[in-house]
Structure 1
Amino acid sequence: MSSKRNQMIDEDESPNWLATFADLMTLLLVFFVLLFSMSSLKQERFEEAVRSLTLALDSAPGSNSLIELDAQAPTPKIPQELTEEVLPATQYSLDDGAKPNDAEARRQLLKLQHDWTPMSQELEQSFEMLSLSDAVEIADPKDGKLRLRIDGSALFESGSAQFDRRMMPLLDVVVNTLRRNPQYKVNIQGHTDDIPIETAQFPSNWELSAVRATTVLRYFMRGGLDPERLTATGYGDSLPVEPNDSAKNRARNRRIEFVLEYQVE
Structure 2
Amino acid sequence: MSETDELTRKARVKRPSFKSKKRGLSKDRWILSYADFITLLFAFFVALYSISIQNAGDDKLISETLEGIFDAVQKSIKPISIGDPTTNDPQSESMFEVDPAESEDAELPGVNAPESSSILFNQLSQLIANQLDEYSSAGLISLSEDKNWINLDLRSGLLFDTGQYELTNDAVAILISLTEFLKQFKYPIIVEGHTDDLAINSSQYTTNWHLSSERASSVVDEMVFRGIPPEYIAPIGFSSFKPQVRNTNEFAREQNRRVTLKISKTDNVGVYDLLFK
* TM-score normalised according to structure 2 size: 0.51
Are 1:122 and 2:127 matched, yes or no?
A: no
Distance (Å, rounded) in 2 between the aligned partners of 1:165 and 1:153: 12
Distance (Å, rounded) in 1 between the aligned partners of 2:203 and 2:252: 27
Distance (Å, rounded) in 2 between the aligned partners of 1:227 and 1:116: 27
- Contact 1:116–1:146 (8 Å) recurs in 2: no
Q: Counterpart of 2:120 in 1: which secondary structure?
A: helix
Are 1:137 and 2:138 matched, yes or no?
A: no
Name the amino acid aligned to 1:121: N
Name the amino acid aligned to 1:186: I
Distance (Å, rounded) in 1 between the aligned partners of 2:121 and 2:267: 19
Shift of 1:262: 2.4
- Contact 1:123–1:173 (8 Å) recurs in 2: no
Q: Report what 1:176 is aligned to.
A: 180
Distance (Å, rounded) in 1 between the aligned partners of 2:173 and 2:129: 12
Distance (Å, rounded) in 2 between the aligned partners of 1:221 and 1:139: 23
Q: Percent of pairs identical after alignment?
A: 23
Distance (Å, rounded) in 1 between the aligned partners of 2:178 and 2:170: 15
Distance (Å, rounded) in 2 between the aligned partners of 1:175 and 1:220: 6
Correspondences of 1:156-235 after superposition (within 5 Å): 156-182=160-186, 184-235=187-238
Distance (Å, rounded) in 2 between the aligned partners of 1:137 and 1:224: 23
Name the amino acid aligned to 1:245: T
- Contact 1:197–1:203 (8 Å) recurs in 2: yes
Q: Deviations over 1:227-260 (max 9, x none)?
A: 0001100010011000000111101000000001
Correspondences of 1:41-120 after superposition (within 5 Å): 116-120=117-121
* RMSD of aligned Cα (Å): 1.6
Name the amino acid aligned to 2:155: D
Shift of 1:119: 1.4
Distance (Å, rounded) in 2 between the aligned partners of 1:220 and 1:196: 29
Structure 2 residue runs without a partner (length 5+) = 1-115, 269-277
Shift of 1:167: 2.5
Q: Counterpart of 1:172 in 2: which secondary structure?
A: helix
* TM-score normalised according to structure 1 size: 0.53
- Contact 1:208–1:236 (8 Å) recurs in 2: yes
Correspondences of 1:18-57 after superposition (within 5 Å): none
Structure 1 residue runs without a partner (length 5+) = 1-114
Shift of 1:149: 0.7
- Contact 2:192–2:235 (8 Å) recurs in 1: yes
Shift of 1:116: 4.8
The number of residues matched between the two structures is: 149
- Larger relative contact order (CA 8 Å, sep ≥ 6): 2
Change (3 A) 1:264 1:160: closer
Q: Report what 1:261 is aligned to.
A: 264
Q: Report what 1:9 is aligned to.
A: none
Name the amino acid aligned to 2:128: F
Name the amino acid aligned to 2:145: D
Q: Counterpart of 2:243 in 1: which secondary structure?
A: coil
Q: Deviations over 1:210-243 (max 9, x none)?
A: 0000001100110011100011000100110000
Distance (Å, rounded) in 2 between the aligned partners of 1:117 and 1:172: 23
